[in-house]
């Protein structure tokens, strides 16, 4: 499983934003919509082995939205329909339990440290000064943590350090989170293809 966790520092936790002006009314939920596209969208379908957690901190208390590729329905590649799906999720009451908004989309109260994905495979923290992800990523899955335009706080970084997260960079230029996810997915696809090729070769030899 590939897990992408994106922190939206100012991202709204309510459905009270306008689909006519997503960047201006939602605390930059547009960034998170593009991350969802990058994480899931293939030319002819949805990546089923991906899950995304959006940590929304732009309200009185943080909320987390969870999208699961295996169950996801109604996801289109454009920003507006993705934002409309998030609007539905944010309209639900959120407490400590996951509640399903639409197929594959769930919401609950909680922040980064409350997620339960930690410890399943390697955790990577995407940051400009990290080591090259092409060298650092060696398995076709993992948990990848990214910040929005503001980045992660010192507390977040300390938390990730405690998890022994590898700090990785996607290249020489500083990129938006959605572009980073495209690059990570591609690297994982390449590793997966090499592993599969190896297994078929082993199979043929037997």
Measuring CA to CA, which residue among 14, 110, 114, 109 is closest to residue 58? 14
Report in angstroms how near the CB of residue 193 gets to a copy of itself at its nearest. Answer: 4
Return the number of the residue (64 or 169) whose C-beta is nearest a copy of itself: 169
Q: Strand, helix or coil at 115?
A: coil
Provide the binding-site residues for a copy of itself, judged by CB under 8 A.
19-23, 30-31, 34, 37-38, 41-44, 76-81, 149, 170-176, 179, 182-183, 185-186, 189-190, 192-193
Q: Residue 87, class by beta-carbon neighbours within 10 Å (0-12 exposed, 13-18 middle, 19+ buried)?
A: buried
DSSP string, 87-110: HHHHHS--SSS-EEEETTEEEEE-
Return the number of the residue (106 or 187) whose C-beta is nearest a copy of itself: 187
Contacts for 194-198: CB closer than 8 Å, 24+ residues apart: 195/140
Report in angstroms how near the CB of residue 49 gets to a copy of itself at its nearest. Answer: 11
H-helix segments, the chain: 22-25, 29-40, 79-91, 133-136, 154-162, 177-205
Return the number of the residue (37 or 111) whose C-beta is nearest a copy of itself: 37
Distance CA 68, CA 154 (A): 29
Report in angstroms how near the CB of residue 120 gets to a copy of itself at its nearest. Answer: 23
Contact (Cβ atoms closer than 8 angstroms) between residue 188 and residue 143: no
Return the number of the residue (78 or 155) whose C-beta is nearest a copy of itself: 78
Report in angstroms how near the CB of residue 23 gets to a copy of itself at its nearest. Answer: 5
Return the number of the residue (108 or 176) whose C-beta is nearest a copy of itself: 176
Report in angstroms how near the CB of residue 163 gets to a copy of itself at its nearest. Answer: 25
């Amino acid at each position: 499983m590939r897990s992408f966790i994106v922190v939206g520092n100012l991202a709204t936790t309510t459905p009270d934003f306008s689909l006519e002006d997503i960047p201006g009314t939602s605390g930059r939920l547009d960034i998170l919509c593009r991350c969802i596209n990058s994480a899931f969208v293939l030319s002819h379908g949805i990546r089923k082995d991906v899950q995304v957690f959006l940590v929304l901190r732009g309200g009185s208390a943080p909320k987390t939205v969870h999208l699961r590729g295996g169950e996801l329905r109604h996801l289109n590649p454009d920003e507006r329909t993705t934002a409309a799906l998030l609007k539905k999720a944010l309209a639900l009451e959120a407490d400590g339990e996951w509640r399903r908004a639409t197929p594959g989309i769930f919401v609950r109260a909680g922040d980064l440290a409350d997620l339960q994905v930690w410890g399943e495979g390697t955790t990577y923290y995407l940051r400009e000064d990290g080591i090259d992800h092409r060298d650092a990523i060696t398995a076709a899955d993992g948990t990848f943590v990214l910040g929005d335009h503001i980045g992660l706080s010192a507390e977040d970084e300390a938390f990730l350090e405690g998890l022994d997260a590898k700090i990785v960079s996607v290249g020489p230029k500083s990129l938006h989170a959605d572009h980073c996810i495209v690059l990570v997915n591609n690297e994982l696809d390449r590793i997966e293809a090499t592993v599969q090729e190896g297994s078929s070769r082993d199979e043929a030899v037997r």
